[in-house]
């Protein structure tokens, strides 16, 4: 049996380290409300550092950013009502020479539409499939859309299909990223934070091989955003 003998020098070093940790411990106690107030003040200051959008209107700014080619592999359009969505999807099929089949997210606003002539429950694990999802928010600053995971929103719907169509209600388009951060904070306060909160900005891509951009490396190769005006 080996007997461990304490080394006085080691004990001294250990005591010195722990004393340094205690000395560095914060001594100021601040309540949660004070911290939140300070954070909000910092966000106000960030308004002066925010990039200038292409339009003061959030929807127009998002669309202009995409049309300018600043969001990789992404196109967009605006329709009046959700009832126009099947027709917009049909046009997407025609543009990309695709069969009339896709996987529609299983939520009432999408499932209740008239999808006559279109198969809406394709297996997205197959090659070259199309996915259709309902976004929680759009963000004009980056041309992004946001999805929250839930029983009705399987996250793989946004990453397995080669083609992805995201529907964004016009009323849910925000100007800046930090606008969404405030919303996410409110969700957290209510203890309702979903397992995944995904901000998707354009298609997936990589330049790992000889610096050549390859789209669709880790997700959709083609992304199309459809904004619904009356939502």
Q: Shortest CA distance to 72 belongs to which of 227, 218, 213? A: 213
| Per-residue DSSP letter, 1 | -
Does 17 reside within a domain? no
How many angstroms separate the CA atoms of 189 and 183, rounded?
10
What's the confidence (pLDDT) of residue 95? 96
Structural domain contains residue 39:
no
3-state secondary structure (DSSP) of residue 32: helix
11 pLDDT tier (thresholds 50, 70, 90): confident
* 24 assigned to some structural domain: no
User: Could you write out the DSSP letters of every residue in 62-93?
Assistant: HHHHHHTT-STTEEEEEESSGGGHHHHHHHHH
pLDDT score at 31: 77
Report if residue 22 sits inside a domain.
Answer: no
- The reply to whether 31 falls in a domain is no
- Whether residue 200 is predicted with pLDDT greater than 70 in this model: the reply is yes
As a whole number, mean pLDDT of residues 182-207 equals 90
Indicate the number of domains in the chain. 1
Residue 48 lies in a domain: no
Tokens for 17? 């380290």
| The model scores a pTM over 0.75 | yes
Report d(CA 144, CA 73) in Å as an integer: 12
Three-state DSSP at 101 gives strand
Q: Is residue 4 part of a domain?
A: no
Question: CB-side exposure of 28: number of CA atoms within 13 Å?
Answer: 4
User: What pLDDT, in 10s, does the model give residues 98-147?
Assistant: 999 999 999 999 999 999 999 999 999 888 999 999 999 999 999 999 99
Q: What is the pLDDT of residue 33?
A: 82
pLDDT of residue 158 exceeding 70: yes
Please report which confidence band the pLDDT of residue 23 belongs to, taking 50, 70 and 90 as the band edges. Answer: confident
**Domain limits at 118?**
54-228
**38: confidence class by pLDDT, cuts 50, 70, 90:** confident
Look at residue 231 in the predicted model and tell me its pLDDT: 86
Instruction: Report the pLDDT averaged over residues 147-159.
Output: 92
The CATH number of whichever domain residue 92 belongs to comes to: 3.40.50.10420
């Amino acid at each position: 049996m080996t007997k461990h003998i304490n080394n006085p020098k080691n004990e001294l070093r250990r005591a010195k380290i722990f004393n340094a940790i205690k000395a560095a411990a914060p001594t100021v106690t601040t309540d949660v409300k004070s911290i939140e107030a300070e954070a909000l003040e910092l966000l106000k200051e960030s308004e002066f550092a925010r990039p200038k959008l292409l339009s003061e209107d959030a929807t127009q700014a998002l669309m202009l950013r995409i049309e300018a080619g600043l969001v990789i592999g992404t196109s967009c359009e605006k329709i009046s009502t959700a009832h126009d969505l099947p027709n917009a999807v049909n046009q997407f099929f025609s543009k990309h020479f695709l069969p009339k089949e896709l996987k529609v997210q299983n939520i009432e606003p999408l499932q209740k539409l008239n999808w006559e002539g279109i198969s809406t429950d394709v297996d997205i694990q197959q090659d070259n499939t199309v996915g259709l999802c309902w976004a929680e928010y759009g963000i004009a600053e980056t041309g992004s859309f946001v999805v929250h995971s839930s029983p009705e929103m399987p996250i793989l719907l946004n990453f397995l299909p080669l083609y992805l169509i995201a529907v964004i209600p016009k009323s849910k388009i925000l100007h800046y990223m930090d606008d969404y951060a405030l919303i996410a904070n409110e969700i957290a306060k209510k203890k309702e934070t979903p397992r995944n909160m995904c901000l998707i900005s354009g298609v997936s891509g990589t330049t790992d091989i000889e610096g050549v951009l390859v789209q669709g490396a880790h997700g959709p190769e083609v992304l199309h955003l459809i904004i619904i005006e009356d939502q």
